[in-house]
């Protein structure tokens, strides 16, 4: 039996993890996070499509692809969290379980970062736990997928 696929999408500037403000985002690189995510997913019986883009339209395309081909979606929208109605609309349009993820606690940050435009389309939200949040998001997503 083929494994169900969880899409893990990462937004702008997350390619800089490990060097960008490690006091906020931690010292793990995106490659480190991807490796740990793949290992966790394998233990949960899931395949992973792990991607990053700095381009809003590409993320919208991938969200739509996740809705068509995936069993669930984890998204760290990065800076688009606070601005992207296009991502909100794409997330709202797909019927798979969705979890929004943030490395930092956005509610403990600057005022403009405290509002997530995209969160209303998510089934759950994990934030402030650094790279460990990816594994927790996979566990939650696996539960949502099994109930879908």
pLDDT digits (tens, 9 = 90+) for 8-19: 999 999 999 998
Report the pLDDT averaged over residues 49-65.
98
Count of domains forming the chain: 1
Contact assessment for residue 34 and residue 135, using Cβ atoms and an 8 Å cutoff: no
Read off φ and ψ for residue 104, nearest 5 degrees.
Answer: -100, 165
- Which residue among 7, 80, 102, 134 is the active-site one? 102
User: Is the pLDDT reported for residue 2 higher than 90?
Assistant: no
| Catalytic residue status for 107 | no
pLDDT band at 1 (very low <50, low <70, confident <90, very high): low
- Which residue among 25, 80, 107, 134 is the active-site one? 25
pLDDT of the residue at 148 = 78
- Looking at the chain, the whole-number percentage of residues with pLDDT higher than 90 is 82
pLDDT of the residue at 24 = 76
- Read off the CATH number of the domain in which 30 is found: 3.40.50.9100
Question: How far is residue 135's CA from residue 42's CA, in Å, rounded to a whole number?
Answer: 11
For 47, the domain range is 4-147
pLDDT digits (tens, 9 = 90+) for 62-112: 999 999 999 999 999 999 999 999 999 999 999 999 999 999 998 888 787
């Amino acid at each position: 039996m083929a494994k169900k696929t969880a899409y893990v999408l990462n937004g702008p500037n997350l390619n800089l993890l490990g060097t960008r403000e490690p006091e906020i985002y931690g010292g793990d690189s995106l490659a480190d996070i991807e490796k740990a995510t793949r290992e966790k997913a394998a233990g949960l019986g899931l395949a992973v499509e792990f991607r990053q883009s700095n381009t809003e339209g590409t993320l919208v395309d991938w969200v739509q692809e996740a809705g068509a081909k995936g069993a669930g979606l984890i998204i760290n929208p990065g800076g688009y969290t606070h601005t992207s109605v296009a991502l909100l609309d794409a997330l709202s349009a797909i019927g798979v379980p969705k979890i929004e993820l943030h490395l930092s606690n956005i509610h403990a940050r600057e005022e403009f970062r405290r509002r997530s435009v995209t969160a209303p389309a998510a089934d759950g939200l994990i934030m402030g736990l650094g790279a460990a949040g990816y594994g927790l998001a996979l566990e939650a997503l696996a539960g949502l997928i099994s109930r879908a």
